[in-house]
Amino acid sequence: MYLVQQLPLNLLGDAMGREWIVRNVASSLFDSLTKGFIRSSREELLLLERKRLTTLGITSYELDPPSGKIVFPAGGSLYQCVDSPLRNGTLFPSELRTGTVGAKLTPEICPSNPDLVAYVSNCDIWLSHEASGTSERLTYAHRGTRNLADDPLSCGTPSYVIQEEFSRYEGFWWQPESKVRWRQVSSVPLTSGDWPVVDEGLWVDSLHSLVYFIGLKESPLERHLYVVSLEAPEQVRLLTHTGSSYTVDINSECNIAVATYSSVNSPPACMVFRISHTDSTVEGVTLTPIGHLVEPQAVLEQPIGFPEIYSHEISSGDVVYAMVFRPHGAVPSVKYPTVLNVYGGPEVQIVTNTFKDMRYLRMHLLASQGYCVVSIDSRGSYNRGVQFESHIKHRMGTVELDDQIEMLVWLSNEIGLIDMSRVAIFGWSYGGYLSLMGIAQYPDVFKVAVAGAPVTNWALYDTGYTERYMDLPNANPQGYKAGSILNYVNQFPNEEGRLLIVHGLVDDNVHFTHTSSLITQLVRKGKPYQLQVYPCERHSLRSLDASKHYETTLLNFLAKHL
């Protein structure tokens, strides 16, 4: 790790990123977490559920670049360590003395005094002073009683809807140090075109009047780093290489960048660049490699089958992308049972030119068992522009499968591996919802359906999400009616073994009421189904036992009925 010796964390700031933290901080703490010596608190588990994080160890951290101080929550407590230019190698954290009981969440270091750390504990905001070990309660919203109805208030933590649907997990902020300045400005677009700029990642170099950002100008499948000048709007320059997709972080001085990059057939690598200039134009920007934090892997230790990406112009004139995991050892002249792994909802993109690692383990598993696995980003999916994404506005559940099926039929002719008489549709959450729609409305296309945690009626889902895309129920009654699977129960197959529903009983995102409402109607209409309930699981299956049981259930169901 020679880079750490050359470039200490307090010089790089946030640009060093999670790679350095994970590799150099608290290996002993991570060992303790994974061995069960430190258990995550209930509050931490709920926060991880909202963030869709399944990893152990350090999942977030707070960094004060000038002092090199790092603070992070783990096991219900706060831990700290300090990096300096004189220190090399692993940093070992110590528990922050707070003198308070209860889980500590979302720590924030004071920008003017790193000895002060604010955090949320027991539904109120606290402030601790590291040197003295004293703590002060700043808010008194929560009385600490057991009855939520009598004691509902909290401070410092956003509401469920804000966390779940708007991805904001902090509910308090330090006032930044700044001098009051006034300047009249005008709004001038810096970019234009039918391609998106990514929300996260925007850096302003005021010295050179340059703005760095992440966008998808070259391809909807790849994220790249670009630069544009405030003095010459719309003159956008690409700084990274096509053929891979990038995530980038840049320090506040805009002279160091850390880039993590991968492709469908190349595992992630991470490189540090120095940003220099020959002048103040976009053409004068140079990224000079300093070294790797994670070296590129020329050959995987255990080779896996990489997915292939396909594109096709469907009948609407839109180009749709698909990803195919071929069955291991596939023979070109043989047709294979196929699993359509569907999501189809807004603000999600599945098909990207990025490495498909542990998050796609199920796809690799199914391919290893002889299935052809297909994922398609139909109209309505993310990072394709407003017109493309608005295709499902006010009509969720009624148009997505047309694109999915058209693309699937084209793929079957293109690659010659798909057995269209043995196609399963499988998905979770919105994908579970479309799986139900698929087996009800297209029973001749889909032989079986596996619906995980499915929405069944938009009137039962949270308004922060639903009304954003479907409008108010009284303003779009036909859309809500057509989008409810409960109105298609008569169309479900009458044969056994064609429908498997999976749901966690304490799901706080898609409540189990969705599944129970559907089952009530299935029973009333005499429609067969198979139900697998996990009593202690939420929207995601987090326990190892439940995950193993589910994978086994899924494989057995497909082997028996597909």
pLDDT in tens, 389-406: 999 999 999 999 999 999
The better pLDDT of the pair 214, 86 is held by 214
**Token pair of 204, please?**
């302003």
**Token pair of 506, please?**
């304490």
Residue 386 CB coordination number (10 Å)? 9
What is the signed CA dihedral for 401, 356, 222, 432, rounded to 10 degrees? Answer: 20
pLDDT of residue 387: 92
Q: Is it the case that residue 4 has pLDDT exceeding 50? A: no
The better pLDDT of the pair 234, 41 is held by 234
Fold of the domain built from segment(s) 308-561 = Rossmann fold (3.40.50)
Q: Is it the case that residue 88 has pLDDT exceeding 80? A: no
Averaged over 53-57, what is the pLDDT? 71
Hey, CA dihedral for 271, 277, 281, 284, is it positive or negative? negative
pLDDT of residue 23: 47
Question: Do 274 and 255 meet the contact criterion of CB atoms below 8 Å apart?
Answer: yes
Averaged over 260-286, what is the pLDDT? 95
pLDDT of residue 85: 74
Residue 370 CB coordination number (10 Å)? 15
pLDDT of residue 443: 97
Q: CA-CA distance, 499 to 529, in Å (whole number)?
A: 5
Amino acid at site 451: A
Q: Is it the case that residue 1 has pLDDT exceeding 70? A: no
- Residue indicated by tokens 């134009």: 281
Averaged over 92-102, what is the pLDDT? 83
**Token pair of 175, please?**
């006032």
Q: Minimum mean pLDDT among 25-34, 105-114, 377-386: which range?
A: 25-34
pLDDT of residue 181: 55
pLDDT of residue 3: 29
Report pLDDT digits (tens) over 340-369.
999 999 999 999 999 998 889 899 999 999
pLDDT of residue 457: 97
Hey, is 509 helix, strand or coil? coil
**Residues listed for the chain:** 562
Q: Minimum mean pLDDT among 21-25, 66-70, 439-443, 548-552: which range?
A: 21-25
Q: CA-CA distance, 194 to 48, in Å (whole number)?
A: 34
Q: CA-CA distance, 236 to 139, in Å (whole number)?
A: 47
Catalytic residues: 429, 507, 539
Name the nearest CA neighbour of 276 among 252, 249, 257, 260.
257
Q: CA-CA distance, 444 to 25, in Å (whole number)?
A: 55
Confidence of residue 182 (pLDDT cuts 50, 70, 90): low
Question: Do 212 and 222 meet the contact criterion of CB atoms below 8 Å apart?
Answer: no
pLDDT of residue 445: 97
Question: What's the predicted TM-score (pTM) here?
Answer: 0.84
Averaged over 20-47, what is the pLDDT? 56
pLDDT of residue 298: 67
Averaged over 179-203, what is the pLDDT? 78
Report pLDDT digits (tens) over 152-181.
888 888 887 888 888 888 888 988 765 555
pLDDT of residue 98: 84
User: What backbone torsions phi and psi does residue 119 show, to the nearest 5 degrees?
Assistant: -165, 170
Report pLDDT digits (tens) over 214-270.
999 999 999 999 999 999 998 999 999 999 999 999 998 999 999 999 999 999 999
Q: Minimum mean pLDDT among 99-108, 228-237, 317-326, 522-531: which range?
A: 99-108
Q: Minimum mean pLDDT among 80-89, 187-196, 369-378: which range?
A: 80-89
pLDDT of residue 352: 97
Question: Do 211 and 228 meet the contact criterion of CB atoms below 8 Å apart?
Answer: yes
Question: Do 87 and 120 meet the contact criterion of CB atoms below 8 Å apart?
Answer: no
Average pLDDT, the chain: 88
pLDDT of residue 277: 95
Confidence of residue 90 (pLDDT cuts 50, 70, 90): confident
pLDDT of residue 146: 75
Please report, for the chain, the start and end positions of each structural domain, with discontinuous segments joined by +. 9-166, 197-294, 308-561
Q: Minimum mean pLDDT among 89-93, 209-213, 274-278, 432-436: which range?
A: 89-93
Q: Is it the case that residue 10 has pLDDT exceeding 50? A: no
Q: CA-CA distance, 379 to 392, in Å (whole number)?
A: 7
Averaged over 451-479, what is the pLDDT? 95
Question: Do 503 and 533 meet the contact criterion of CB atoms below 8 Å apart?
Answer: yes
pLDDT of residue 535: 96
Q: Is it the case that residue 426 has pLDDT exceeding 80? A: yes
The residues pairing with 78 across neighbouring beta strands, listed in sequence order, are 73
| Burial zone of 376 (CB within 10 Å; 0-12 exposed, 13-18 middle, 19+ buried) | buried
Q: CA-CA distance, 69 to 82, in Å (whole number)?
A: 4
